[in-house]
Structure 1
């Protein structure tokens, strides 16, 4: 039986809630990763931030509503994208991170972790031991484990 501890990545990218989104983007590019776990100064899990969180924030547009002749029209926000991206990258991670973290223990089987990922539609699961981060299992880790265990 393959457990989470057997396949987890232990070199997990960690950021703090007050770190800027620019810091996270630089970390993603430097390490070739797509997520980081957010912890407080005591190492307690606070959330997770992914490339999807960043994309969703960039995508956000504030529509302009116009009431004309008793009809409401929605107009696209035509603000400058570059200035929006600059404003985004200076914001703290805590503003965009996912706070509801789905975790698993080191003793969880890969079937249990895969089930969490599938049911919750997530791509990675932080692995904890007594509420402390010890690793991360990504979809890729599960696929590799399956490939290694089949002839």
Structure 2
């Protein structure tokens, strides 16, 4: 599967000049952990996260002063997103393989990654999006596979069964090239974890 198969295109964004408190409010209200930062042209220029917006934002509890505890010297909190956003942002394009995106998230310790097309923000993909894709009901996955293969070879061309995301395809009349095309189509369906064919393929010249 590719990023475009699961990404969200209706993305909540902020600009570099957005007040940091407004960005923090958006995160709290929407339940997000990060927001893409875009300029006036829609180009992705950074990402701002919960941790960055919290930095120096919470004051030290004044009750410690009663006991003579020293007040920790800290910088004042950021006024605008541009002061705390991460740049350059980690991003992928719509054609990036989801396995690569998952590895990138684990490597970078992030829960979401912006998707960029021609320098402009095209969407965002989250861990939740990927989890949702691998937990689709077998019946839904099978229906989509039948539709795709029906377009490729006719409704009666393939016999399909799906169990736990594992796809079994019975094909006694196709050649190796047709099976390869079918496998590519099936593996692009969200929720598919494996593809197996039964029946010997007809080889060229036979």
TM range (shorter): 0.7 to 0.9
What secondary structure sits across from 2:41 in the alignment?
coil
Q: Which runs of 5+ in 1 are unaligned?
A: 62-74
Alignment-derived partner of residue 72 in structure 2: 77
CA offset digits 1:24-80 (Å, max 9, x no partner): 12222333322211111111111011112123343799xxxxxxxxxxxxx65178x
TM-score, normalising length from structure 2?
0.56
Q: Is the 8 A contact 1:47 1:100 kept in 2?
A: yes
Q: Which runs of 5+ in 2 are unaligned?
A: 61-69, 142-162, 165-206
Alignment-derived partner of residue 65 in structure 1: none
Partners of 2:126 and 2:51 lie apart in 1 by: 15
Q: Does 1:109 align with 2:104?
A: no
Alignment-derived partner of residue 119 in structure 1: 107
Partners of 2:110 and 2:28 lie apart in 1 by: 21
Partners of 1:142 and 1:76 lie apart in 2 by: 44
Alignment-derived partner of residue 70 in structure 1: none
Higher relative contact order (CA 8 A, sep 6+): 1
Q: Is the 8 A contact 1:35 1:49 kept in 2?
A: yes
Alignment-derived partner of residue 118 in structure 2: 130
Partners of 1:138 and 1:123 lie apart in 2 by: 6
Greater strand percent: which structure? 1
Runs of 4+ more than 6 Å apart: none
